[in-house]
Amino acid sequence: MADYNPQVIEKKWQAYWEQNQIFNAKVDKSKPKFYSLDMFPYPSGAGLHVGHPLGYIASDIITRYKRLQGFNVLHPMGYDSFGLPAEQYAIQTGQHPAITTEENIKRYTEQLKNIGFAFDWEKEVRTSDPAYYRWTQWIFMQLFNSYYDKSEDKAKGIGALIEHFEKSGNAGINAVCDEDTPEFNSEDWENFSPKQKQEILLKYRLTFLAETTVNWCAALGTVLSNDEVKDGFSERGGHPVERKKMMQWSMRITAYADRLLRGLDTVEWTEPIKEMQRNWIGKSKGAEMVFEVKGHDKQIKVFTTRIDTIYGVTYLALAPEHDFVQDLITEDQRKTAEAYVEVAKNRSERDRMTDVKTISGAFTGSYAINPFNGEEIQVWIADYVLAGYGTGAVMAVPAHDERDYNFAKHFGLEIRQVIEGSMEEGSFPGKGGIIMNSDFLSGLEMQAAMDKAIEFVEARKIGKGKIQFRMRDAIFTRQRYWGEPLPVYFKDGLPYLIEEKDLPLVLPEVDKYLPTEDGEPPLARAKDWNYKTTEGEFPLERSTMPGWAGSSWYFLRYMDPKNEDKFVDQEIAKYWGAVDLYIGGAEHATGHLLYSRFWTKFLFDLGVIDIEEPFQKMINQGMIQGRSNFVYRVKGTNKFVSLGLKDQYETSAMHVDVNIVHNDQLNLDKFKSWRPDLADAEFILEDGKYHCGSEVEKMSKSKYNVVNPDDIIERYGADTLRLYEMFLGPLEQFKPWNTNGIDGVSKFLKKLWKLYHNNAGEVSISNDAPSKDELKTLHKTIKKTEEDLENYSFNTSVASFMICVNELTAIKCNKRAILEPLAVLVSPYAPHIAEELWALLGNTDSIIKASFPEFKEEYLVENSHEYPVSINGKMRTKLSLSLSLTKEEIEKAALEDETVQKWLEGNVPKKMIVVPGKIVNIVI
RNA sequence: GCCGGGAUGGUGGAAUUGGUAGACACGCAAGACUUAAAAUCUUGUGGCUUCACGGCCGUGCGGGUUCGAUUCCCGCUCCUGGUACCA
């Protein structure tokens, strides 16, 4: 073989890897393990574009490197194959989403294989496969059968709870449950009907059915979770979303709030992602206390983080949705207050969000009593108070809270300062200040005042210290077809689990994928969607699970994907443990990454796995943006003018397919055949070339800027694609895709190839001992590659390969002792060419079985250094000096230098800084 | 508003703890090879200035610390991601 021919060698090695099962991972306790995971893709109909494989290439390089270091590597790939696009397509065409999904997966797999990833395809999972989702359903059943014991701070089987109820009711049980759970004793429990018992238990189960205010998206016909809604519109499709009360399954993720928070300290993720999760969980310490209402037997419960400012409270504010609102409105206020509630309630979430500046509210006419000083304060309704957070009521302290301040100003309510400081600039939080005007709290600092105030309310049994979380329980149902059915049936309106032996509960056939006429989810269309028990037939749940169900535990299934008896074998799970490196986008920060941590902790509590955190180390790759090209049509003609000349004409810009543009130069022939109307296009060129304009936009079909990896591979080869994606810049950075530099890495591979061949194109390797220079070049590169891989700095190691090959080419090196380790060094990045060169060197086994070359410092030891000599910090000359010189000797040599003499002009330097082995700086 | 990330030649980017700013590539220019083109190779390439040696300026902007700052500190501008009345 003469020339480097990527098309031939890449196919050859891909086939070799597959046939020889090179990447098949098996438990091997004699080797250290390394579990590398990529966020698995949703197989969309559009196929892969060049942005998708970016993270996969990075993780592939790491796993190949780890293999060379002797690790036993698990590096799987699979598909998150339930999802909206396939279902929308099914609604439009009537084709079963499973068919579309299957086709898309086939295409994705083909594309991924083309890039030469070292995936263990034996381990592939698909969330929409019944063999997979039977275990998703199984985990759901475990959640249903569990409650959260706060004393032990872990989930436990519901059986233990029932036992406790039988013994002593729910007194003394420290478990997470619904707010409205009644108190009962053992006798009550005994007397409850089975139905009542179920109702009670549902208030404790980790997954439960309850009426919740949900984000309802009418266009998609389903509810969405908070992280699927952006600014009042659905993230997918951008349809309007409204708030609606519905019966939904929820996951009691809030039970894990504190552990999810604490666990963040044990994982190596980037700080921004951890911070996002912390904010999302939103832990705040404060107190809960009640205010009596004058003339009512009602008590308004508020949550506050600043009970130290209790003497500054001048009014209470209730959310418009608060249960007491109707009762507290007095006759004389009825008209205005009710009108306000009506408006406020109907304002959509979106209106409230876009219009946060407008202050609105209404006085109820009722008065509450501040238990600290017996003062009567007005009770207002205000839409700045959210029904869903805390108690839906706040004690307003206008002097020390900005929103309360603005509200008080607007309605002319009293503002009473209780912390020392200046009110000139409006309210101030005054954290750490001294309390004033506050009776027995005056003179204290914030924390001391809070402690004392909490003592006060606790002594009177009107409140207590409390920790509040912002995070809500996660809604777990979608009114869609293409998702996991819930293993639940209904008897007397109450949910029961189907039996484990009946798993998987397979998605039924339906005639249409739309909701029914009366708004029931698509599964209501299925015939016989019932569960048969000895007592009869009962209807099955018609909603399905949300997209995040399957992805919350997939990393476990990869370890043991074909296991029919368990979701994963415990011994195998123990061996692979947590994911050592997780690569994916940052967009899952508060969704997937939180939910899978939750399920992992739950499974840990269950005792079926040994890890509490699924993803030990994570890096987030930056998205690849599109880079569009433009041509400029002279108005009213079929003439196109090059970018530099377009201002001389009246033109309109037109997107042009980036695939017929190279280095921003338009391929005229391809342009003419691009569309029929362009066949007779004329051009006004610059230097015989047509230069296109460019802009960074989202990668999308309509902008003609989608680049398919297959096209790049066809033209340059997969190794070039891999190298180029890495060479583009740091992995985490967002960057537009443009092919302008790709020739550089392609040339590099050709040069690399040539090192192993003579001018006649024959393999030519010398077995002579390498020279000092050759060894230096090699070891410099080993060192740099190793460091870069440890830091995930892939772009710089590609540059160091280029330097290495340039240097070896310059000295015409063809020594085996250099070229053999070089092939290994390059192999994680460009595995195909490396395998081929490895074989040409006479090796018979895959290069993956080789060892990463050992770096030897001795080859880099220098005995002289080229000192930059600076005058006043500016480099003026260089001086090559022996490294054995002392400071004084260096100083002397520098002063003798001609250039230095010139700058000194005969004067004595004010100061001299000499850092041996680094620099010389002379201050004059 | 709040919390992150960022800004370096015509372009992508490099500079490990403060120590030669612009590595490596692309592009461009000139040259070699060729009938020609492509490919390949060689040389040059931050700006201004100078015949040249050299000099001045230069890492978003304005200050500061330091012998020395892309790097550290203070104050701003712009871009970008997250979040949004969370009591």
> Taking the CA of residue A639 as centre, how many other CA atoms within 13 Å lie in the half-sphere pointing to its CB?
12
A536 CB-side CA count, 13 A: 5
- Residue nearest B68 (alpha carbon to C1'): A873
Q: Would residue A177 be called left, alpha or beta, if left means φ above 0 and alpha means ψ between -120 and 50 degrees? A: beta
Find and give the residue nearest to B14, measured CA to C1': A796
Homologous superfamily of domain range A283-469: Valyl/Leucyl/Isoleucyl-tRNA synthetase, editing domain (3.90.740.10)
- Taking the CA of residue A689 and the C1' sugar atom of nucleotide B30, their distance in angstroms comes to 20
**Which of these, A246, A251, A249, A250, lies nearest to A519 by C-alpha position?**
A246
Residue nearest to nucleotide B66 (CA to C1'): A873
Out of A518-522, A572-576, A716-720, A817-821, least confident range: A518-522
Residue carrying the six token digits 């460091």: A787
**What value does the mean pLDDT take over residues A729-751?**
89
Angle at A225 between CA A145 and CA A136, to 5 degrees: 40
As given in the structure block, the two tokens for residue A348 are 């959509």
- State the CB neighbour count (10 A cutoff) for residue A77: 22
Integer distance in angstroms from CA A902 to C1' B51? 23
Contacts of A252 (CB under 8 A, 6+ apart): A148, A176, A205, A206, A207, A208, A473
CA A821 to chain centre: 37
Burial of A697 (0-12, 13-18, 19+ CB in 10 A): middle
User: Nearest nucleotide by C1' from A623 CA?
Assistant: B81
Q: What is d(CA A3, CA A760) in angstroms, rounded to the nearest whole number?
A: 10
Å: A762 CA to B43 C1': 30
Interatomic separation, CA of residue A797 and C1' of nucleotide B40, rounded (Å): 26
DSSP structure string for A286-323? EEEEEEEETTSS-EEEEEES-GGGGGG--EEEE-TT-T
Pairwise CA distance, residues A293 & A297, whole Å: 7
Domain A718-859 superfamily per CATH: Isoleucyl-tRNA Synthetase; Domain 1 (1.10.730.10)
What pLDDT sits at residue A141? 97
Distance separating alpha carbons of residues A274 and A883, to the nearest angstrom: 46
The rounded distance, in Å, linking the Cα atoms of A770 and A781 is 15
Instruction: State the nucleotide closest to A468 in CA–C1' terms.
Output: B86
Burial of A156 (0-12, 13-18, 19+ CB in 10 A): middle
Most confident of A212-216, A242-246, A248-252: A248-252
| Cα–Cα distance measured from residue A249 to residue A210, given in angstroms and rounded to the nearest whole number | 6
| Distance between the alpha carbon (CA) of A795 and the C1' atom of B12, Å | 11
- Evaluated on CA atoms A436, A440, A443, A444, the torsion sign reads negative
The answer on pLDDT for A314 being more than 60 is yes
Q: List all residues 6 or more positions away from A519 whose beta carbon is below 8 Å from its beta carbon.
A: none
Distance of CA A297 to the CA centre of its chain: 49
Residue type, A517: E
> Which residues of A does the annotation place in the binding site for ATP?
701
Residue A353, pLDDT > 60, answer: no
Please report, rounded to whole angstroms, the spatial distance between the CA atom of protein residue A383 and the C1' atom of nucleotide B75.
38
End-to-end CA distance of chain A: 64
The CA distance from A200 to A177, in Å, is 10
Distance A740 CA to B27 C1' (A): 8
- pLDDT, tens only, A611-659: 999 999 999 988 888 888 888 899 889 999 888 788 788 888 888 888 8
Q: Between the CA of A228 and the C1' of B35, what is the distance in angstroms?
A: 66
User: Is it true that the peptide bond before A504 is cis, omega within 30 degrees of 0?
Assistant: yes
- Å: A732 CA to B3 C1': 19
Q: Rounded to whole angstroms, what are the CA distances from A731 to A118, A623, A718, A727, A794?
A: 19, 9, 18, 9, 7
| Token pair of A157 as six digits | 């089987």
Q: What is the pLDDT of residue A347?
A: 64
Give residue for tokens 């020594």: A815
The whole-number Å distance from A605's CA to B41's C1' is 67
Residue whose CA is minimally distant from B16 C1': A787
From-to residues of CATH 3.40.50.620 in chain A: 27-139+547-620
Q: Which nucleotide is nearest to A920 (CA to C1')?
A: B19
What is the Cα–Cα distance from A522 to A476, expressed in whole angstroms? 17
pLDDT recorded at residue A118: 96
How large is the average pLDDT for residues A442-469? 91
- What is the per-residue pLDDT for A395? 94
The residue type of A206 is L
What percentage of chain A has pLDDT greater than the value 90? 58
* Beta strand residue intervals within A644-703, DSSP E: 651-656, 661-662, 665-666, 682-684, 693-697
What nucleotide is nearest A805 when CA is compared to C1'? B24
Average pLDDT, chain A: 90
Q: How far is CA A571 from the centre of its chain?
A: 29
Give A916 CA → B70 C1' in Å.
Answer: 24
For chain A, give every residue range classified as CATH 1.10.730.10.
718-859
Which nt has its C1' nearest the CA of A231? Answer: B84
Every domain range in chain A assigned CATH 3.90.740.10 = 283-469
pLDDT in tens, A92-144: 899 999 999 999 999 999 999 999 999 999 999 999 999 999 999 999 999 99
Q: What is the pLDDT of residue A760?
A: 81
- Of the pLDDT bands very low, low, confident and very high (cuts 50, 70, 90), residue A197 is very high
The dotted CATH code for A862-923 is 3.10.20.590
> What percent of the residues of chain A are helix, what percent strand, and what percent coil, each to the nearest 5?
40, 20, 40
Read off the pLDDT band of A421 (50, 70, 90): confident
Q: C1' nearest to CA of A279: which nucleotide? A: B83
Give me the half-sphere count of Cα atoms (radius 13 Å) on the Cβ side of residue A674.
Answer: 17
Considering the segment(s) A27-139+547-620 as one domain, its CATH architecture is 3-Layer(aba) Sandwich (3.40)
Q: What is the mean pLDDT of residues A734-760?
A: 90
pLDDT for the residue numbered A375: 93
Indicate if the pLDDT at residue A238 is higher than 90.
no
Q: How far is the CA of A876 from the C1' of B9 (A)?
A: 22
3-state SS assignment for residue A707: coil
- pLDDT computed for residue A510 by the predictor: 93
- CATH code 3.10.20.590 region(s) in chain A: 862-923
Protein-to-nucleotide distance from the CA of A923 to the C1' of B68, whole angstroms: 10
User: Residues with Cβ < 8 Å from A302, sequence gap 6 or more?
Assistant: A288, A289, A290, A291, A316, A390, A391, A393, A394, A395
Quick check: A349 pLDDT over 80?
Answer: no
pLDDT higher than 60, residue A1: no
Spatial distance from the CA of A729 to the C1' of B13 (Å)? 6
Tell which strand B nucleotides have any atom below 7 Å from a protein Cβ: 3-5, 11-16, 19-21, 23-29, 40-41, 55-56, 67-69, 80-87
Which nucleotide has the least CA–C1' distance to A396?
A: B87
Q: Which of A303-312, A750-759, A910-919 has the lowest mean pLDDT?
A: A910-919
Tell which wins on pLDDT, A52 or A74: A74
User: Which nt has its C1' nearest the CA of A470?
Assistant: B86
Which DSSP string do the residues of A344-391 spell out, in sequence order? Answer: HHHS-HHHHHHT-S---EEEEEEEEE-TTT--EEEEEEETTS-TTSTT
Residue A786 has pLDDT above 60, yes or no: yes
Indicate the length of chain A as a whole number: 924
Residue A232 pLDDT class (50, 70, 90 cuts): low
* Nucleotide minimizing C1' to CA distance for residue A272: B4
CB-CB contact of A548 with A595 (8 Å): yes
The better pLDDT of the pair A420, A572 is held by A572
Residue-level pLDDT at A227: 66
- A899 nearest nt, CA–C1': B54
* Residues ≥6 apart with Cβ < 8 Å to A508: A485, A523, A526, A527, A528, A529
A49 DSSP 8-state letter: -
Tell me, what's the pLDDT at A806? 94
Number of H helices, E strands in chain A: 29, 35
Residue A852 is predicted with a pLDDT of 96
Residue A462 CA to B45 C1' — how many Å?
78
Instruction: Mark out the alpha helices in A84-193 (DSSP H runs).
Output: 84-93, 97-114, 130-144, 158-168, 186-191
Pairing of β A735-736 and β A624-634: parallel
Q: What three-state secondary structure class fits A583?
A: strand
Backbone angles phi, psi at A658, to 5 degrees: -65, -15
> Which residues are within 8 A (CB) of A506 and not within 5 positions of it... i.e. 6 or more apart?
A130, A485
pLDDT value at A468 more than 70: yes
Q: Of all nucleotides in the shown strands, which has a C1' nearest the CA of A868? A: B20
DSSP A872-886: TTEEEEEEEEETT--
Instruction: With beta carbons less than 8 A apart as the criterion, state whether A664 and A691 touch.
Output: yes
What residues contact A611, with CB distance under 8 A and at least 6 apart?
Answer: A577, A578, A600, A604
Q: Which nucleotide is nearest to A915 (CA to C1')?
A: B19
Nearest protein residue, CA measured to C1' of B5: A272
